[in-house]
Amino acid sequence: DEIILVLTPSNNDQTSTIAQTINPHIITTRIKNPEIDFSSWRNHGLSLAGGKWILFIDPDERLSPPLKENIQQIIKQPKPQYVAYDLPRANYFLGKRVRHGGTYPDYVQRLFLATKLKGYQGKLHEQPQIEGQSTKIKHVLLHFTHRDLTSMMEKTIKWTLLEAKLLHQSHHPPVVWWRFPRMMFTKFFERMIKQKM
């Protein structure tokens, strides 16, 4: 019924123009605060939404045709059993589907009964706050993450700095040297052995 495009400080001026060309009925709103805060961005979009159901989609995500059909069936239910749905993300890295190493199913809760979604919390790893039960959908949300190594490195540096700042603010204990090899071994075991990357 409505599409709300939340333009963050990283969006250039062409984003709104391109969106309006594709669909002139898109509602665009721009975040003026330069600080990265995913929850406030999602909550801002939520505050402008007037529909019974809310579906959040990031710019690098696409609905697969079966997922779109499944969502349409869910929102037509007169008395929904669940108030939120977790979508399994199929991640694509440098144009190729990644299937191992704990990357699938990468569940993200994105479909909500509007009256039961109380908002998001967390600046970087934002989490929805809901009232009621949720369940999983089997059809995939396509996630076209890093398309080249340059954009991957730029995003990694930006997110790493923010995450370090948040850890420092939360009084996380200082990192000692032995945690580096321990974490390397732990992640290697999880992804290469346990999850069979």
Global confidence as pTM: 0.82
Tally the residues of the chain: 197
Could you tell me which residues come within 8 angstroms of residue 188 by beta carbon, excluding any fewer than 6 positions away?
A: none
pLDDT tops 90 at residue 89: yes
Could you tell me which residues come within 8 angstroms of residue 2 by beta carbon, excluding any fewer than 6 positions away?
A: 25, 27, 49, 50, 51
Tens of pLDDT, residue by residue over 116-150, are 999 999 887 899 999 999 999 999 999 998 888 99
pLDDT tops 80 at residue 71: yes
Contacts made by residues 124-129, CB under 8 angstroms, sequence distance 24+: 124/36, 124/38, 124/159, 124/162, 124/163, 124/166, 125/38, 126/38, 126/39, 126/42, 128/84
Predicted confidence at residue 49, as pLDDT, reads: 95
Range in 8-17, 29-38, 134-143, 177-186 with the lowest mean pLDDT: 8-17
**Distances in Å between the alpha carbon of 184 and those of 12, 106, 181?**
37, 22, 5
How many whole angstroms separate alpha carbon 99 and alpha carbon 63? 18
Q: How far apart are the first and last CA of the chain?
A: 41
Tens of pLDDT, residue by residue over 29-61, are 989 888 888 899 999 999 999 999 999 999 899
Predicted confidence at residue 197, as pLDDT, reads: 53
Predicted confidence at residue 169, as pLDDT, reads: 78
